Structure 1
Amino acid sequence: MTCTLILTRHAKSAWDTNVPSDHARPLNKRGRRSAPAIAAWLRDNGYVPDQVISSSAQRTRETCELMDLGVPARFTERLYQANSEIMFRVLSEADQPRIMLIGHNPGIAAFAHSIVSSPPDHSRFDDYPTGATLVAEFAISSWRDLAWSSGKPIDFSVPRELLGE
């Protein structure tokens, strides 16, 4: 049996807002176009998760909502600005075989690099831009058996490619 991780950085967020905190920053126009494009790519390739586990920040919530994947979503403060170790712990507690994590840089890029056995052949994997999405498979039957550097990259995409920008 395998478990599949879909690791998505939130779509492009707005910086020119009067929100009271970084946690409350919304998506910008490009981000609101990108999230549905990521979802369409996931659906077209058969990568729809069983569950989404997302940071509780406004921009990750909006990314998840605009993807409209039709699966249960859980929003947790633990993934807000989380490092690799925290992401690993959150994922190892998951109970569905296909999990999507939505989070933030720099933690999500570091986690992506640490969780796969080798990087996918894509020029944007190293910087993991907004909306970047990695699909990786793990030869485990439960996320409790997750190990560092054990994922096999299956696919990787960024919204600019999907939107033809």
Structure 2
Amino acid sequence: MKKTLILVRHATAEDQTFRTKDFDRILNSKGLAEAAVMGEWLADTNFRPDIFVTSPASRAYQTAVITAEKLGVNVASLVSKAEIYDGGPKAYLNAVNEISEEFSMLALFGHNPDITYFAEYISGASLGSMKKGSVAIIEFENLKWEEISGKTGNLTLYKTPKQVRDVD
């Protein structure tokens, strides 16, 4: 059975200041628009994740909430995994490997540079650096979530908010 992983880098957030911890940075107006346009694009392209896993950091969580709302998903069903915030690419792999086999499509929301490193690790593709709010879709054939590891996936699509807006 095919598995689909939708990796989403959080949208544009406010700059860090001495008053705001990095973890607590929220989306700015540009980021709110990016998250909305990407959520609408996912809905329009019929990507329907069965499960949403997100970093608990404000900007990633907000991106996940907006995306879920655009897809008509109950926000209460979002799964927050603290290790995704600063656990490196291995934390992303652990989050994927722990997904139940009842799900075939996972949306995972996180941060650069780790989310880009993870996407490149599991797909073997070269993305450079995922743009804020961008989506990488990676498919796996005949693998369980727990079997996913280096170069087992195929990067089938990479989209940025700018690319989606320029099409409209």
Same fold judged by TM-score > 0.5?
Answer: yes
Name structure 2 gaps, 5 residues minimum. none
Match of residue 63 from structure 2: 63
RMSD: 1.8
Mapping of residues 83-98 of structure 1, within 5 Å: 83-95=88-100, 96-98=103-105
* Structure 1 runs not aligned, ≥5 long: 120-124
Distance 2:112 2:50 in 1: 24
Q: Which residue of 1 aligns with 2:10?
A: 10
Q: Is the 8 A contact 1:81 1:103 kept in 2?
A: no
Shift of 1:16: 6.0
Of residues 95, 101, 104, the one that matches 2:108 is 101
CA distance in structure 2 between the aligned counterparts of 1:19 and 1:73, rounded to whole angstroms: 28
> TM-score normalized by structure 1?
0.89
- Amino acid in the other structure paired with 1:49: P
- Contact kept? 1:82, 1:104, Cα under 8 Å: no
How big is the shift at 1:93? 0.2
Which region of structure 1 is more displaced relative to structure 2, 66-75 or 152-161? 66-75
2: CA distance, partners of 1:18 / 1:38: 30
Distance in 1 (CA, whole Å) between partners of 2:18 and 2:26 is: 10
How many residue pairs were aligned?
A: 160
Higher helix content, 1 or 2: 2
Shift of 1:88: 0.5
Question: Following TM superposition, where does structure 1 have runs of at least 4 consecutive aligned residues deviating by more than 4 angstroms?
Answer: 16-19
Rate the CA distance shift 1:29–1:18 in 2: closer, same or farther, 3 A. farther
When normalised by structure 2's length, the TM-score is: 0.88
Aligned position for 1:50: 50
